[in-house]
């Protein structure tokens, strides 16, 4: 067994939903054997769109038929489509009508449509990815717009993933770059999990941590190869994205894979942000969030928190009512004006918890700072990796100004119940200082050096 096969074997033992993950060049031909093993006697329905039918769907269909498996096809009728509810209904009707098992041939959107519609029908499906664009293939939950708001619906991950690296390496370069950024997000997200672990709100789950974090540096180490579509580099990237989904399956939470880095993307989704008339990909939006969090950690690790005045911080700690009022102000005029209010109501902690958390930060600061530094890449390094791979290295690349990005920061603190770096900063009264270090003179996103687009 190769290292990769060994890692995958161990990871599959952790994954709760996925039983089979096969990855290699020319692997479309493996689909019938996997289908037969998991769904003997059932009919297959290849679900694809016009593009993915051309690059892989037709071949998967032919392999299934050659193998004597009764096979149908459902093509998404529109050329341009997003993960919207009406498509879930379409796919669900097609799968139900045929009595078949879906074989999702496509990128993240097709996979999410099959994931949710199959769950509605109480069955699983096989995922045949065509791009290393997101970590969502192997995660549970589908991200779908419902009544104009992007939501994550609970549903199991696919029972099998058959990844043909030749197909994935041929995907449009910006899709692969997006996947690279989605994987890179796990770097700062890991550090924010360390903070939640320190505070005791979400302890690190060792197996979910190690399956991904132990190999992350290696999987991100060849941006040139990824940009050039080198099969080994693409395979490493795809494996990293898949392991990230398995880590989420093991933790039964998205904590191993995302934190504030992703909230910038959620904010842009919720405000229907477009650049040059187009919605920006998940990975491209996450790239900007990831860089921003690397910059925040750079600034954070420069501080000396051994001198923290815990008594003063606790004395200044606002009440729940004050925080709720602040949250309402922060989200005034937003599509979901009560979002922050609801989140802070859920995650607010009283003064004694804050005292305990800050005492821990203060007492262990040199050791914690070294651990965060060891975990998070410096902003300059992450930016360079994104430049090489072709992912956004500045918010202007997705049509966001630095001023707009700065305005998102207070919202990202209050968009999710989980503890993040900004929560720590609020408690320690270093929030304004960090924001200034990132967006002020000489900062990573120095507002006076706004890039044109």
Residue 182 or 357: the one with the smaller Cβ distance to Zn ion is: 182
**Interface region with Zn ion, contact rule CB under 5 A, candidates 114-122, 182-190, 234-242, 369-377:** 182-190
Q: Can residue 269 be called a binding residue for Zn ion (CB under 5 A)?
A: no
Cα→Cα distances 121→94, 112, 114, 138, 169, Å:
11, 14, 10, 19, 33
Part of the chain binding Zn ion (CB under 5 A), chosen from 140-148, 178-186, 397-405, 444-452: 178-186
DSSP letter assigned to residue 125: -
Distance in Å, CB of 169 to Zn ion, minimum: 21
Buried b (16+ CB within 10 A) or exposed e, 215-245: bbeebbebbebbbeeeeebbbbbbbbbbbbb
Question: Which one of 47-55, 174-182, 244-252, 335-343 is the stretch in contact with Zn ion (CB under 5 A)?
Answer: 174-182
- Shortest Å, Cβ 304 to Zn ion: 34
Q: Using alpha carbons only, how large is the chain's radius of gyration in Å? A: 22
Q: Are 320 and 348 contacting, i.e. CB atoms less than 8 angstroms apart?
A: yes
Task: Retrieve residue 290's tokens.
Answer: 């990831």
Q: Tell me the torsion sign for CA atoms 307, 310, 315, 316.
A: positive
Interface with Zn ion by CB under 5 A: which range of 179-187, 247-255, 362-370, 440-448?
179-187
Candidates 130, 252, 262, 268; CA nearest to 189 is 262
Residue closer to Zn ion (CB basis): 182 or 394: 182
Segment lying near Zn ion (by CB under 5 A), choices 125-133, 180-188, 353-361, 390-398: 180-188
Name the residue nearer to Zn ion (CB basis): 256 or 443: 256
CB of 380 to Zn ion, least distance (A): 23
Nearest distance in Å: CB 400, Zn ion: 17
In the complex, the smallest distance separating the C-beta of residue 106 from Zn ion, rounded to whole angstroms, is 17
Collapsed DSSP state (helix, strand, coil) of residue 126: strand
Residue 285: CB minimum distance to Zn ion, A? 9
Strand partners, 46: 73, 103
Specify the DSSP class assigned to residue 103: E
Paired residues of 74 in beta bridges: 47
Tell whether residue 182 is a contact of Zn ion (CB under 5 A): yes
> For the residues of 32-95, what is the DSSP string, one character each?
HHHHHHHSTT--EEEEE-HHHIIIIIHHHHHHHHHTT--EEEEE-S-SS--SBHHHHHHHHHHH
CB 48 within 8 A of CB 105: yes
* Cβ-based nearer residue to Zn ion, 182 or 239: 182
Residue 92 or 182: the one with the smaller Cβ distance to Zn ion is 182
**Structure tokens belonging to residue 443:** 């900062």
Find the shortest distance in angstroms from Cβ 391 to Zn ion. 13
| Helices marked H in 121-221 | 165-169, 173-184, 186-199, 206-219
Size of the site for Zn ion (CB under 5 A): 1
Binding string to Zn ion for residues 131 to 170, with x set by CB under 5 A, is what? ----------------------------------------
Task: State the minimum distance, in angstroms, from the CB of residue 150 to Zn ion.
Answer: 12
Distance, in Å, from the CA atom of 276 to the CA atom of 168, rounded to the nearest integer, reads 26
- Please report how close the Cβ of residue 418 comes to Zn ion at its closest, in angstroms: 15
Residue 347: how many other CB atoms lie within 10 Å:
17
* 241/343 with CB nearer Zn ion: 241
Between 269 and 357, CB nearer to Zn ion: 269
Residue 50 Cβ, how far from Zn ion at the closest point, in Å?
Answer: 25
Backbone angles phi, psi at 161, to 5 degrees: -125, 125
How far apart are CB 247 and Zn ion at their closest, in Å? 12
Q: From 203, 97, 105, select the one nearest 163 (Cα to Cα).
A: 105
Phi, psi of 75 (to 5 degrees): -100, 130
User: Does residue number 239 form part of the binding site for Zn ion (CB under 5 A)?
Assistant: no
Between 159 and 185, name the residue whose CB sits nearer to Zn ion. Answer: 185
Shortest-Cβ-distance residue relative to Zn ion: 182
Query: What token pair was written down for 446?
Result: 């120095």
**Residue 392: CA atoms inside 13 Å, Cβ hemisphere, count?**
28
- Of 112 and 298, nearer to Zn ion (C-beta) is 112
Of 60 and 268, CB closest to Zn ion = 268
Q: Which is nearer to Zn ion, 109 or 305 (CB)?
A: 109
Calpha distance 33→18 (Å, rounded): 16
Query: Please, what is the minimum distance in Å from the beta carbon of residue 212 to Zn ion?
Result: 13
Q: Compare residues 294 and 435 and give the one whose CB is closer to Zn ion.
A: 294
The 334-363 contact track toward Zn ion, x by CB under 5 A, reads ------------------------------
Region from 98-106, 181-189, 353-361, 369-377 binding Zn ion, contact rule CB under 5 A: 181-189
Contact 216, 189 (CB under 8 A): no
| Binding interface with Zn ion (CB under 5 A) | 182
């Amino acid at each position: 067994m190769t290292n990769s096969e060994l890692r995958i074997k161990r990871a599959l033992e952790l994954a709760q939903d996925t039983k089979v993950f096969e990855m290699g060049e020319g692997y479309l031909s493996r689909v019938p054997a996997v289908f037969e093993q998991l769904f003997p006697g059932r009919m297959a329905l290849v679900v694809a769109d016009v593009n993915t039918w051309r690059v892989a769907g037709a071949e998967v269909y032919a392999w299934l038929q050659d193998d004597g498996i009764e096979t149908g096809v459902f093509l998404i009728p529109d050329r341009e489509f997003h993960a919207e509810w009406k498509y879930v209904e379409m796919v669900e009707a097609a799968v139900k009508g045929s009595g078949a098992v879906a074989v999702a041939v496509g990128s993240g959107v097709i996979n999410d449509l099959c994931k949710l519609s199959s769950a509605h029908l109480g069955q699983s499906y096989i995922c045949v990815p065509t791009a290393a664009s997101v970590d969502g293939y192997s995660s549970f939950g589908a991200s779908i717009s419902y009544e104009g708001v992007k939501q994550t619906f609970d549903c199991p991950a696919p029972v099998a993933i058959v990844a043909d690296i030749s197909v994935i390496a041929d995907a449009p370069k910006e899709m692969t770059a997006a996947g690279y950024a989605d994987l890179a997000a796990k770097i700062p997200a890991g550090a924010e999990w360390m903070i939640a672990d320190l505070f005791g709100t979400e302890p690190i789950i060792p197996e979910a941590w190690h399956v991904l974090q132990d190999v992350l540096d290696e999987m991100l180490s060849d941006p040139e190869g990824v940009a050039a579509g080198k099969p080994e580099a693409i395979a490493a990237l795809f494996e990293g994205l898949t392991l990230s989904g398995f880590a989420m399956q093991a933790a039964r939470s998205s904590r191993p894979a995302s934190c504030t880095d992703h909230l910038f993307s959620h904010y842009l989704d919720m405000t229907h942000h477009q650049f040059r008339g187009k919605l920006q990909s998940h990975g491209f939006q996450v790239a900007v969030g990831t860089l921003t969090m690397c910059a925040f950690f750079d600034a954070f690790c420069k501080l000396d928190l051994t001198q923290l005045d815990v008594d003063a911080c606790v004395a200044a700690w606002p009440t729940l009512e004050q925080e709720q009022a602040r949250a309402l102000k922060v989200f005034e005029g937003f599509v979901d004006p009560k979002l922050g209010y609801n989140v802070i109501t859920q995650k607010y902690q009283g003064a004694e918890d804050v005292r305990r958390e800050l005492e821990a930060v203060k007492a262990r600061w040199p050791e914690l700072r070294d651990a965060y530094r060891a975990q998070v890449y410096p902003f300059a390094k992450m930016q360079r990796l994104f430049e090489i791979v072709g992912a956004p290295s500045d918010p202007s690349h997705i049509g966001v100004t630095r001023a707009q990005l700065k305005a998102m920061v207070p919202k990202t603190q209050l968009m999710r119940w989980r503890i993040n770096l900004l929560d720590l900063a609020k408690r320690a009264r270093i929030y304004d200082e960090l924001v200034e270090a990132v967006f002020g003179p000489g900062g990573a996103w120095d507002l006076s050096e706004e890039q044109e687009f």
